[in-house]
Amino acid sequence: MGTARPSDKRLSVRSELGFKLIELVVTAGQKKERIDKFLAAQLENSSRAKIQKYIDDECVLVNGEPVRASYKILPDDRISVSIPTTAPPDKAVPEDIPLNVVYEDEHLIVVNKPAGMVTHPGHGNWTGTLANALLFHCNKLSTINDPYVRPGIVHRLDKDTSGLIVSAKDDVTHASLARQFFDHTIDREYWAIVWGRLPAGRGLIEADLGRSKSDRKKFAVVEEGKFAATEYEVLEVYSYLSLVRLKLHTGRTHQIRVHLSHIGHPVFGDPTYHGRRLNYGEPTPKMRQDVTDLLKIMNRQALHAKTLGFVHPVTKAHLHFDSELPEDFEEVLTRIRK
C-alpha cells in the first residue's frame, strides 16, 4: 500500500513509529487536478475514497498544511501522506466503558466526560472513545454525522477537557441540537484555572483563530482566521493563579485555550498552549516547588465544561445541568486556596 512507482524520482517512502510517511513533490509538467485524484493515481493500492478518508483525518498535508479533497495541486507543491500502519476499523464498535450519565431519555443522553477520553474515533484514537462507550450503552444513536465513526455526536470536547456533553439518539433530536449550537442558543459555561491575574473582573476576548503555521496540530491567533469571541469572569484570585468562568460566543477548535494563552493567561497545566511553565511574576524557590507539585496533580489543562443548558428538541422543556469539578481540579483549588 502506498508504494512508490519506479518512475517517481520525486517521491519517497519511509516508516515512522505507527505510520508510513509518503512524501512527494509535484513536478513542473504535472497538470492541475484535484489532490484526491492525483494521489489515487500516484499511490499503489490506494483508491480515491481511501485518499479522501486520509484527507478528512488530516493525514494529507500540502506544504505543511491540511487541505480539502478538492484542492488543486500546483507545481512544486510538497505533499506528505501519513498512513497508519495499523488499519483502523471500518466503523466504531461498542465498548463496555463506564459512563457518568447525568441525564438520559429516549431521545438524548448527557454525560460528564472524564479528561483523557476522546469524543469520537479518529486518527490515532480508534477505540476507547465516548462514541464507542455510547454505542454499548444506548440501543440507538443518530446518524447525521458519519454514523460509522461519529454516531450520536453533536459536539465535541478536547480529549483532556472534562465536562458535560450531549449526544443524540435519533436524527430529529440531533438536527435540533445542532441548530441550537449553530445559533449559539446553547447555554454553556466552562471553568478554568489560569496563570496570573487578569486585568479586569470581566472581559471579552475577541481574536481571529486559525491553524498554526508552525504546527498543524495547534491553533493560533492569525489575521486570516475565523472570528472568535470568549467572555470571561474572574471568580477567585490567588497568589499566581486565578479561577475563571468562561462563555463561548463562537465555537472554534481550542478557542478558550488559545484565547487565554494569547492574552498572557494560559490555562494551568495546558501542555500545548504554554500552561506547564511558570507564567507569572518573579518565581521564588518555594513557588517553583509549589508549581511543580501542582503540575503533578494536574497533568492536563485545568479546563472543565461545568454547565450545559438547551431546549429539549421533543418536549420543548428547557434543560439545565451542572456538574461537579473533577478530582484533580478540586485538589489543585484546595491547595492554592491555602
User: Residue 1's pLDDT is what?
Assistant: 40
Q: What is the pLDDT of residues 87-113, one digit of tens each?
A: 556 678 899 999 999 999 999 999 999
Mark which of 28, 56, 84 sits at the end of a domain.
84
22 in a structural domain: yes
Q: Please report the pLDDT score of residue 336 as a whole number.
A: 94
Residues serving a catalytic function are 158
pLDDT tens digits along 115-132 = 999 998 876 667 889 999
Is residue 6 one of the residues assigned to a domain? Answer: no
pTM summary value: 0.75
Q: Are residues 139 and 170 in the same domain?
A: yes
Is 312 inside a domain boundary? no
Beta strand 11-16 with 19-25 is: antiparallel
* Residues 6+ away with beta carbon under 8 Å from 328: 115, 297, 298, 299, 300, 302
Give me the residues of the chain with pLDDT under 50, please.
1-9, 17
Residues 205 and 280 grouped into a single domain: yes
CATH number of the structural domain spanning residue 20: 3.10.290.10
